[in-house]
Structure 1
Amino acid sequence: AHQALWWVPVGHEPTVEEALAKLAVLDRLGPGPAAFTLPWFRGDSPWNS
């Protein structure tokens, strides 16, 4: 993966290390609540059912 999205609490500034960890999650498990892609969030997410 080249891009990962994830929910960030208000006031928290994500680090580069955190972003790299989210990319690893996406590569290992695919998109889900812990790390996702925009297409997944827009259409394939179970939250859109």
Structure 2
Amino acid sequence: MRRGIFQWVASFAFVIQMYLTMAIMAVAFAPWALIDRRGAYAGVHTYTAWVRW
């Protein structure tokens, strides 16, 4: 039972930080992404590296 609760809490924490990071990086990379395609790629690669870490 404890293992299931721990897994649920860990998964919930992961989802929260994942979406919070997505919002922060969207704001941070939006100006560059609107100007240059490399900015969009940099934002996607940075976010993906964060989530996969």
What's the TM-score once normalised by structure 1's chain length? 0.35
Greater radius of gyration (CA):
2
Higher relative contact order (CA 8 A, sep 6+): 1
What's the TM-score once normalised by structure 2's chain length? 0.33
